[in-house]
Structure 1
Amino acid sequence: MPRPSEARPSGARPSAQVRRFTPAERWVHRATAALMGVCLVTAGCLYLPPLAELVGRRRLVVTVHEWAGLALPVPVLLGLASRAFRADLRVLNRFGPHDGVWLRSALRRRGPRPAGKFNAGQKLWAAWLTGAVLVMLGTGLLMWFTRLAPLLWRTGATFVHDWLALALGVVLAGHIGKALGDPEARRGMRTGFVGRWWADSAHPLWRPGD
């Protein structure tokens, strides 16, 4: 049986819509996703021999990878001009008692999952991704500008960068998988609006417009 967030109840009115994301918020998400995708694809072309042979032009791939990585924080920085985006960041950065309940229920795969606009899993994902991007940016700069640090530091930076890139790929695959399992959440990111029934069932503590 599908979860409440995956299928609209038969009694729900299709016209009952609430705004979840503004155009600025959706732009930040899409631009960040595109840059992250470029980073991962180019990384695969640099480290996987079959892809490297297929694509060739290693110097060009390296250049695209470097500049895409350097640009990763730019959409978020530009998004700070949006009041709605700043409000979302404040919500993502705050954990309340209901988030602990959500996490325990998620781990046990049963029980209530109270959530505001973002659930505890989404908050952890945002925090982890922010930290990972900053670490990737720092280690990438050490690898790019070889005179910034001694050889030992650059060797450590390469190790951290490579393994964190692999972890990012795995976690992003999980993120995409969760999105594919929730059509209404995807519609919210695509159009900015979700059904009231979805908001009430998946995010019962969220009060749109507050």
Structure 2
Amino acid sequence: MATAPDARRLPRFSRTERALHWVHASAFFVLLGSGLCLYLPSLAQLVGRRPLLKDIHVYTALAWLVALALVVLAGDRRRLLADARETDVFDDDDLGWLRRRGNPQGRFNAGQKINVIVTAALAFLFTLTGFFLWYGERNHAFRLQNALVVHDWLMYISFFLVLGHLYLSLVNPSTRHSLSGITRGWVREDWALKHHAKWARAVLARDD
């Protein structure tokens, strides 16, 4: 949908929030691609060069952790902390939204809050199991029998979560305008009032 020239824009995500999102997203797709090539025999044979793929996978994971730390340290930590506090609270409107009652939502709707929590948990478990897989090859005392199985199942869960995320942000007409918030930092007032009414009203009241 084209943006009307006089449509009011509401600031949605700061530069720090957008940087954190795109660092995580970029690393995820590299890790997913290299991981699938290592995991699936057909892709492994097609691509070949397994040692190189393992290096790409490991060094991308390290770069991801370093980049996330740099964004947090150099960026707007107060804003990130406020985001964390908000995603940790589920009120009656959130519960009603999950029951499809159309309750007004804050800056993050209940589905987005769940997505943030699940994504953070997956990132932690990926890092933990990935460390034991990497270090276990060098020191067998740290080799955990089920680390690879858990790592693989985390990949399956993440794959389907990201498919849903891409559908909502790129395909679904009702929600794809949200992409503007994470790319350009703003969303239209009418869209915000429809999907995040409590947050939009608070922003408008503050600006008046």
Question: Which TM-score tier does this pair reach, normalised by the shorter chain?
Answer: 0.7 to 0.9
Cα separation, partners in 2 of 1:155 and 1:194, compared to 1, 3 Å: same
- How many residue pairs were aligned? 195
Deviates more, 1:194-203 or 1:75-84: 75-84
Pairwise CA RMSD: 2.2
Deviation at 1:8, TM superposition (A): 7.8
In the alignment, which residue of structure 2 is the partner of 1:46?
Answer: 38
Counterpart CA distance in 2 for 1:94 and 1:36 is: 26
Runs of at least 5 residues in structure 1 that lack an aligned partner in the other structure:
1-6, 106-110
On the 8 A contact 1:17/1:195 being kept in 2, the answer is yes
Tell me the residue number matched to 1:3.
none
Is structure 2 residue 89 aligned with structure 1 residue 94? yes
C-alpha separation in 1, matches of 2:187 and 2:19: 17
Please list every run of 5 or more consecutive structure 2 residues that lacks an aligned counterpart in the other structure: none
Contact in 1 for aligned 2:13/2:182 (Cα 8 Å)? yes
Residue 15 (structure 2) aligns with: 23
Q: Identity percentage over the alignment?
A: 33
Which shifted more, 20-29 or 32-41? 20-29
SS of the residue corresponding to residue 113 of structure 1 reads coil
Amino acid at match of 2:91: G
Report the AA paired with residue 92 of structure 2: P
Name the SS of the counterpart of 1:145 in structure 2: helix
Shift of residue 73 of structure 1?
Answer: 3.8
CA distance in 2, matches of 1:164, 1:183: 26
Q: Distance in 1 between matches of 2:80 and 2:96?
A: 26
Cα deviations across residues 156-185 of structure 1 (Å, max 9, x unaligned)? 111111111111111111111111122310
Please say if residues 135 and 142 of structure 2, whose CA atoms lie closer than 8 Å, have aligned partners that are also in contact: no
The 3-state SS of whatever aligns with 1:18 is strand
Q: Using the alignment, how far apart are the partners of 1:95 and 1:65 within structure 2?
A: 36
* Inter-CA distance 127–142: structure 2 relative to 1 (3 Å threshold): same
TM-score, reference length from structure 1: 0.84
Instruction: Report 1:187-198 matches (<5 A).
Output: 187-198=180-191
Q: TM-score, normalised by structure 2?
A: 0.85
Task: With a CA cutoff of 8 Å and minimum separation of 6, indicate the structure with the bigger relative contact order.
Answer: 1
